[in-house]
Structure 1
Amino acid sequence: MMNKYAVIVLACGRSRRFGGKIPKQYIKIGQDTILNHSLKKFVNFKNIDIIQPVINKKDLGKYNQNLPDDPSGKILDPIFGGKTRKDSVRIALKSLLNKNIKWVLIHDGVRPNISRELINNLLNKLNDGASGVVPIVHVFDTIKRINIIKESYENVKRENLYLVQTPQGFIYNYISNLHNKYANKQVTDDSSLFELENTPLTYIDGESKNIKVTFDKDLKMITEFMNVTKVGIGYDVHKFIEGNEIILGGIKIPFPKKLDGHSDADVILHAITDALLGALNEGDIGVHFPNTDVKNKDRDSKDFLEYSNSKLINRNGEIIHLDINLICEEPKITPFRDMIIESISNILKINKNKVNIKATTTEGLGFIGKKEGIACQAIITIRIPED
């Protein structure tokens, strides 16, 4: 029964305008490449049966190093594209010839921020009988045609100007025939083939956030669009034992006692580490540094926080704010507050303005009120690309 949907995801470009050593489709936003973000947008649609990546032959190693997560098995092995985008589409369409495809979506792999709503809208229009569906965005800025040599310009009426996006959806047989018929005709997108035939298209609202990554500034913008805000909470407590100093926030503070712990018992850094791991959905400090491991005996707690922060950095995330609440009767924290803030900001490689620390007592209540130990709470806010 020929009622299948296929998606062609194009990722053959060499990023000449973007620059850099890595083709832009293999740059990571968070834990996934731009290409994988695009591929995964289509995996969870039950109506979509086949997803065909099209890559440059030179990039097979890069693709295999970053295989997309696909428990559904919808993503086929990649095929190699041609010299131009249009050649690559025609090759991909031909590869689907015997797979009983009725409709096909064609998408640029460097548009990773397409929404489910847009895909659903496109699928519905095809189900309703459209032969070609194209998302468009109205141009609202002033447009000028400028002749730099003659130093002249003219305003262009923008009432009927639109930006054309992908994915574009088509009846498979129709778009395949057009690509074969106009094999030697170069066009910048697939819907342009319909115009050569004077065949009507169905237009739907595109999305301003469905940006194609062409330049570095586009990557920065799309990363911000794809970022989500997450919050983590950490709590730690240690009791006093005999000693001559305590370590708080990486700063050694003279004191007639010390904090008891498997590591150096830095209650502040432990709370921050747990908060950061929580925001990253990475468990807690005990999962990564169990107190049953002799390697962690008397270990500097900076190691724990640097490790957790490296996970955030590797996922292209950033710390927005860190709020620390130290709970103790003694020692007094005010003389050491600035040093602790500077220490924490250095460990996390962030501006000191992002770190706040305050201290309170329990008014003599409980074990802290009896000066038997110190507790700490930490709340951290991060921005990180959504996986």
Structure 2
Amino acid sequence: MSGTVALIVAAGRGARFGGDVPKQYRRLGGRAVLRHAVERLQSHPGIAQVRVVISPDDRARYDEAVAGLGLLPPVAGGATRQQSVRNGLESLIPLKPDAVLIHDAARPFLDAGVIDRVIEGLARAPGAIAALPVVDTIKRAKEAAGATARIETTTSRDRLWRAQTPQGFRFDAILAAHRAAAGTEHTDDAAVAEATGLAVELVMGSEENFKITTEDDLQRAERLLGGGAWEYRSASGYDVHRFAPGDAIMLCGIRVPHSAALEGHSDADVGLHALTDALLGCIGAGDIGQHFPPSDPRWRGADSSKFLAHAGELVAAKGGRIAHLDVTIICERPKVGPHRAAMIERIAQILGLDQGRVSVKATTTEGLGFTGRAEGIAAQATATVALPL
């Protein structure tokens, strides 16, 4: 077929991945995950043009990620993936494409063979999607998916396939199917097509065409990309804030009730400040005061998660990844133990890390020094970062 356009869906927020940077804009080999997906489709001779559906909030990230690629202007997505795809399809009407390939931005390793097979499938059916036959034994659980579950029954894997993208369709057919599906929700575009009776062919996908959903997936992608040699760097951070009148403090991103507050230009979160400096130290990027000067009124009372997220983005911009973070809170009060799990979860969320890569500890100074006299709180942190050579 001719006149095939690729539509890449990149409007999601990646809730399962975590962190303040959506996974499609995280760095993979020094470039955004989205750029890898775009380049794979744009370089294929069977693809005439590429358009990306994005969240308007991510426009600056998008522009940076695809700079110089000469794509069609992006289109704003909707509240759900299905709505985003429909927005993208509607925007393609003036181009009058014969067919469209819809692809997830978080699948960076799409190869030319998969694209070929999907396009060829459209000569035989209105729809064709990349997929892989299920080879593992399938168990149905009694409970919803979780850390553990009990087996209810064994399900036959015969005729079962794992759907991937791209999912290709004759343009007029899939546009009509999406319009008809308004008000309903389906898990992918093939399901939208099926709901209106369109025949969809399964063509062989690729194990490498996996979707980046978690931090571990991103690490797997780095290894698959070739990885090359890595340099590991460690650096420390330290911060102190005195107590002031108040009834709570911010500590490692968590509001902790207390008989006092912490005094500072921002929210005075000593834990996040120490971690920010540790990350900046790993990449030789100065300290927190250089990036967020106390003299700048923009940072008065600011949420310190912005500082830590910024440091994480600077690491990612260098093609690096955070291997581990460790922070020790030094104070007599409040007790950190009851809040430790929440602190670990919050730090991991800010940086898009697995919680196993974050450690939060606490100690006292046995009544000695300013922390022993309960005049304030200190924190010291260590970060380990892997950077490509």
Asked if these proteins are the same fold (TM beyond 0.5), I'd say: yes
Specify whether residues 65 and 140 from structure 1 end up closer, same or farther in structure 2 by C-alpha distance, changes over 3 A only.
same
Contact 1:55–1:79, Cα closer than 8 Å, also in 2: yes
1:107 and 2:103 matched: yes
TM-score if structure 2 supplies the norm length? 0.56
* SS in structure 2 at match of 1:101: coil
* SS in structure 1 at match of 2:94: coil
Match of 2:319 among 312, 315, 333: 315
Query: Using the alignment, how far apart are the partners of 2:124 and 2:317 within structure 1?
Result: 47
Aligned to 1:221: 220
Match of 2:88 among 89, 92, 113: 92
Mapping for residues 194-343 of structure 1, pairs under 5 Å: 194-227=193-226, 314-316=318-320
TM-score if structure 1 supplies the norm length? 0.57
Aligned to 1:168: 167
Query: Using the alignment, how far apart are the partners of 2:41 and 2:192 within structure 1?
Result: 25
Q: 1:311: Cα distance to partner?
A: 12
Contact 2:133–2:161, Cα closer than 8 Å, also in 1: yes
Q: Encode CA deviations 1:239-264: one digit per residue, 9 max, x unaligned.
A: xxxxxxxxxxxxxxxxxxxxxxxxxx
Specify whether residues 67 and 312 from structure 1 end up closer, same or farther in structure 2 by C-alpha distance, changes over 3 A only.
closer
1:187 and 2:176 matched: no
* SS in structure 2 at match of 1:203: strand
Contact 1:39–1:68, Cα closer than 8 Å, also in 2: no
Specify whether residues 312 and 85 from structure 1 end up closer, same or farther in structure 2 by C-alpha distance, changes over 3 A only.
closer
Query: Using the alignment, how far apart are the partners of 1:114 and 1:135 within structure 2?
Result: 10
* SS in structure 1 at match of 2:165: coil
Q: Encode CA deviations 1:30-75: one digit per residue, 9 max, x unaligned.
A: 12100111001111223312211111111112112323442xx3x1
* SS in structure 2 at match of 1:227: coil
Aligned to 1:121: 117
Q: Encode CA deviations 1:65-87: one digit per residue, 9 max, x unaligned.
A: 323442xx3x1121110000000
Cα RMSD over matched residues?
A: 3.0
Q: How many percent identity over aligned positions?
A: 30
Matched letter for residue 78 of structure 1: P
Match of 1:137 among 118, 121, 132: 132
Mapping for residues 23-172 of structure 1, pairs under 5 Å: 23-70=22-69, 73=70, 75-126=71-122, 128-148=123-143, 151-172=150-171
Q: 1:384: Cα distance to partner?
A: 6.7
Specify whether residues 151 and 209 from structure 1 end up closer, same or farther in structure 2 by C-alpha distance, changes over 3 A only.
closer
Aligned to 1:306: none
Q: 1:220: Cα distance to partner?
A: 1.4
Contact 1:40–1:68, Cα closer than 8 Å, also in 2: no
Q: 1:152: Cα distance to partner?
A: 4.9
Specify whether residues 148 and 121 from structure 1 end up closer, same or farther in structure 2 by C-alpha distance, changes over 3 A only.
closer
* SS in structure 2 at match of 1:165: strand
Mapping for residues 354-365 of structure 1, pairs under 5 Å: none
Q: Encode CA deviations 1:311-346: one digit per residue, 9 max, x unaligned.
A: 9993349xxxxxxxxxxxxxxxxxxxxxxxxxxxxx
How many pairs does the alignment contain?
239
Structure with the greater alpha carbon radius of gyration: 1
Aligned to 1:276: none
Contact 2:29–2:225, Cα closer than 8 Å, also in 1: no
Query: Using the alignment, how far apart are the partners of 2:319 and 2:129 within structure 1?
Result: 33
Matched letter for residue 26 of structure 1: Y
Aligned to 1:347: none
* SS in structure 1 at match of 2:100: strand
Specify whether residues 158 and 56 from structure 1 end up closer, same or farther in structure 2 by C-alpha distance, changes over 3 A only.
same
Contact 2:139–2:152, Cα closer than 8 Å, also in 1: yes
Q: 1:201: Cα distance to partner?
A: 1.5
Structure 1: tracts of 5 or more residues without a match: 231-309, 318-382
